[in-house]
Every structure is written in C-alpha cells, then in structure tokens.
Amino acid sequence: MTNISLPRSTPEEQGVDSESIRALVDRLVERDQGLHSLMVLRHGHVIAEGWWAPYTADQRQMMFSVSKSFTATAVGIAADEGLLSVDDDVLSFFPSYATDAIRANVAGLKVRHLLAMATGHTMPTMQVMSALPTEDWVRLFLEIPLVYPPGTHFLYNSGASYVLAAIVTARSGQSLLDYLTPRLFEPLGIETPPWQVAPSGIALGSVGLNLRTEDLAKLGQLYLQRGAWNGQRLLSERWVEQASSIQVANDGNPNIDSSQGYGFQFWRSRHNSYRADGAFGQFSLILPELDLVVAMTEGSTNTQGTLDAVWDLLLPGVHDGALPENAAAAGSLAGTLARLDVPVPHFAAADPALASAVAGRRIRLPFNTLGIGSVCLEFETGSIRLTATSRDGWRETVPAGRSEWMPGRTRFWDQDEFTDVATASKAGWTDATTLEFHEQCLDTPFRRVWRFAFDPQGNQVSVAIGLEPEYWAAYNEVLTGTVD
C-alpha cells in the first residue's frame, strides 16, 4: 500500500510559536544531540519537520525499544477483540510447558506483568535467551527464577516483550506483523514495515521494527486521539488509558523522565506525558494536555538532554488558540529546517602530501571483530573511496564525499540485526597525517568512523574503527596496520 501522509499546517495556525521550534532545533544542534529527524504535531497536523542529511523522510530506521510499544498495541487490539485479557495467566497460553517446576516458578504471572515490566525477575532475561539461540525462548523465560512476586518490582526486561509477541502469535495464529497489518498499519497508512524475528520465527517484540519518522509520529497521534483514527476505532479508550498510565513505579526522581513510572510498554514522562522510547534516541512523545506529539530519531545516549530541550524551549511556545502570522519567525524556522546536516569534523580543503604516498596501497590489519583483513584508500577530486577486504575474500567499496554525503552499502557488521546496511559517507583529512572516514549507517542510529593516523612516511598506521554512539565495546577497536 502507499504511505499516507498526515495533514500539514503552520505552527502559528495550530497555536505554536515558530520561534520556539527553531530554538529547540538550535539547542539540539548546539549541544550535539545527534538528531536525525524531528516532527512536531499539534491538533493532528504536522507543523514542523526536518531531517538531518543524509537522513530523509522516506528512510526507515530500526526502532529498538520503540518496537515494544507496537507489540503492546497488538496486545491491546487482541484484548479488544476478546482473544485475551491482561489478567490471563501467562502459562495459560503455553500449556505444553506446564511442568511442576514452571508452574511453581511463574505462579501469579499475568499478561499485565509482562506489559508493565514487573515480572519479578532480577536479571534481564533477553541476555539469557539471545545467548542460547537454538533453545525455546518462551520456555527459558518461564524457567528463569522469579525472585519478587509479579507486579511488585520494576525491571526493564526485553524478554517479556518477546513473550508478549509469542502470546499474540499463539492466540491469533498469525505473526505479529501479519496480525497488525490490517488492524494498525493499513488504517494508519503505514507501508508494512520489516520486523526482525527470533530464531523461532516469532517477532522479537522488543526491538527490530523498522519505521519512518512519520510512522512513529502516527503511533503517537493514535494514542493522543485515544485510539480513534479517521472515524474508525483501532484501540479502545480503556486500553489507551491503561497503556499510558503508571502501572508500576520506578525510582521516582522528579527531575528525570525515565523515573516517572512505566505503563504498558510505554514510559511515563514529566508534564503528564508518556512516550514510546528506543535506545539511542527514537521516541514518540505524547502530551495529551497540549494535544501535541513530538517524534524524533537520533544517534545519542542522552535522551534526557533531548527531552529537557523540549520542555525548556518548545513547551513555552504552545498556546491555546491560533497565533497571528509571524512571517519572520516562520521564515527563520523554514531556513533552519532546510539546512540540517549531520555534523562531521572540519576537513582540510586539499589533501596533504601524504595522500599520494598511501593512495592505492594495501593497509594490512590484524585480527578484528569485523573480520577485515585489509583496506585500501583512493583519492579523487570530489570523493575518497575505501575498499575493505575480508579475511575470506569478500570485498566492498564505500565511496565518501568530501563535501556531500555519498550513498553506499556495507555488509561488515558485528551483530546479526544489521547484515546489509545502507550508508552515506563523508571523508577528509583533519591534519597532515590523519584521515577520517565517516559512514552514517542509515538503517540504524549509528555512525561508523574510521580514523587513520599515519606515520610521516606512510608506512605504519593506527586504525581506529568505532561506532558513535558506542553500541558494544568490542566493536570499538584500535588496530596497528602496515602499509604495503
């Protein structure tokens, strides 16, 4: 199906000062929050939107734990259809696992406890499950000891989201994606998105859904409208109320948004708001009292800094009625949103003399987690090309623009969730002996950065390869290479 867009309007028409949105964007840029996209909705209209090049409006990204909110939505729809109840015992969906030991372990564990991350576990169960990919993950989850009575202890637990996906599949007879497509994605005008599955074939539930920014905004708008969409009820108001309310308390720090309690796979936030929230900065922030939704994607580990900027700069510009037209502020905002670009270091205007000494030569690398045996650099007028060759002979060339992002792809990745990643790259010399090659990995929140620090003769080189923001420590390596 064709992706259907939300209606557009101007900030002032919907009671929002354009200057407040521009100030928000300026703060996020100044403090290097790693923004990739921003969409602000008021009264159901998109009033501001921007993408930091090389990201674009039609680019899907893996949503990480935002996926949990979609899994919970599937549970809500299934509850509305009478397929299940949040007060059903979890074991009732998997009777074949009902040994005496499992019955005793999960006694009292209900669907609502999975939704609220209040299962009673004291360890993140997905760590155990993903370490044993050939095992039955539902059985493993049920076998891991519950230390606290269900419903009494909050622990962020991605394994619970996987079991929710398995419950929907068990009760509906469909994959999570097939179940949601006619009930959620098609009514919202979202092209059926990819969703990564576990080795069992069941959707991961906790992560792995790939969406555009506008798709993320639509989920927020659906919940803001209490489950109604274009005259059709997709979710009951009762479900929306449950999902968005505090179901379990966490540490209660009044100044931290992740401490405001947890609903049904939604985080509560300050200002009586709640949000779908994914690692490294994807979220759909829902503010019912202001009839406002803010959707963002970024590559950051400081989501609190982004939310603080929303509270400090955007909210003061939100008013009850329409505002007078402000051409100057609207023009300033439009100009800002048209010039967004993921920042890279300042590159030298011309290549140093060392470039000709290393161009086309093979840089041999020692063992590394990406399995790359060697790389080669080539310098052209408008671009720099990096060719990487694996130890078993696989070769790929990624071009990087000197001033513009250049598209490419990479299969060199250290985790199964990203096996063939679209990239856009820039590269250049930061000084006479140091070259940086920045690969923005567009299916992800991440940037892979290669830093080549050559000796003055170009015979030895320190090669640092890492992800920004850091994802897993083993990926970030510093290697000593020799130049043939």
Are the C-beta atoms of 265 and 219 separated by less than 8 Å?
Answer: no
Lookup: tokens for 47:
């009033």
Are the C-beta atoms of 303 and 309 separated by less than 8 Å?
Answer: no
- Chain-centre distance for alpha carbon 96: 35
Residue with tokens 């093979």: 362
For residues 473 and 463, what is the distance between their CA atoms, to the nearest angstrom? 16
Q: What's the longest Cα–Cα distance across the chain?
A: 74
Architecture label for domain 354-483: Beta Barrel (2.40)
Residues 6+ apart with CB under 8 A from 71: 161, 164, 165, 168, 176, 203, 205, 206, 265
At 69, give phi and psi (nearest 5°).
-65, -30
pLDDT per residue as tens, the chain (484 positions): 556 799 999 999 999 999 999 999 999 999 989 999 999 999 999 999 999 999 999 999 999 999 999 999 999 999 999 999 999 999 999 999 999 999 999 999 999 999 999 999 999 999 999 999 999 999 999 999 999 999 999 999 999 999 999 999 999 999 999 999 999 999 999 999 999 999 999 999 999 999 999 999 999 999 999 999 999 999 999 999 999 999 999 987 889 999 999 999 999 999 999 999 999 999 999 999 999 999 999 999 999 999 999 999 999 999 999 999 999 999 999 999 999 999 999 999 999 999 999 999 999 999 988 889 999 999 999 999 999 999 988 899 999 999 999 999 998 876 666 678 899 999 999 999 999 999 999 999 999 999 999 999 999 999 999 888 987 666 688 889 889 8
Lookup: tokens for 280:
């490294």
Q: What is the CATH number of domain 12-59+212-338?
A: 3.40.710.10
β-bridge partners, 428: 436
Total number of residues shown for the chain: 484
Rounded to two decimals, the pTM is 0.95
Are the C-beta atoms of 423 and 410 separated by less than 8 Å?
Answer: yes
Q: What pLDDT score was predicted for residue 474?
A: 61
Q: What pLDDT score was predicted for residue 333?
A: 96
Q: Which of 194-200's residues contact partners 24+ apart within 8 Å by CB, and which partners?
A: 194/60, 195/67, 196/62, 196/417, 198/133, 198/137, 198/162, 199/133, 199/134, 200/136, 200/137, 200/166
Q: How many CB atoms lie within 10 A of CB 360?
A: 10
Q: What pLDDT score was predicted for residue 30?
A: 94
Q: List the chain domain ranges.
A: 12-59+212-338, 354-483
Are the C-beta atoms of 46 and 254 separated by less than 8 Å?
Answer: no
